[in-house]
Amino acid sequence: MSFQFATCNRIRALGFIQADRPNVTDTPESAGPILDLIEADLIRVVDPDCHTGGVVPGKKWDESRRDEVFTLCGLIFGKEGGA
């Protein structure tokens, strides 16, 4: 059994992202769209103090939105993938 420490709390998620990407902000031009998905618990951001940065599926993961999630992750993290 393994545990992942991840959050769907918007403010905490932004802090986790900013630990690796300090210039990211909660604006429509930056992390706002991905934070909307995090807040809806579609995806979660893992705690960078416990894990290598990234995102994991949330409790409300919707496979039909995979491409949208990968695109937004690519904009924030500089590569596709993570969910």
Q: Are 35 and 28 in contact (CB under 8 A)?
A: no
CA distance 48 to 68: 23
Confidence at residue 30, expressed as pLDDT on a 0 to 100 scale: 94
| DSSP per position, 19-62 | HH-TT--SSTTTTHHHHHHHHTTSEEEEPTTTS-S-EEE-TT--
Domain boundaries, the chain: 6-77
CA distance 39 to 16: 14
**pLDDT digit string, tens, across residues 35-64:** 999 999 999 999 887 867 688 999 999 999
Token code pair at residue 18: 């900013």
Assess whether pLDDT exceeds 70 at residue 80: no
Confidence at residue 83, expressed as pLDDT on a 0 to 100 scale: 42
Mean pLDDT of the chain: 88
pLDDT band, residue 76 (cuts 50/70/90): confident
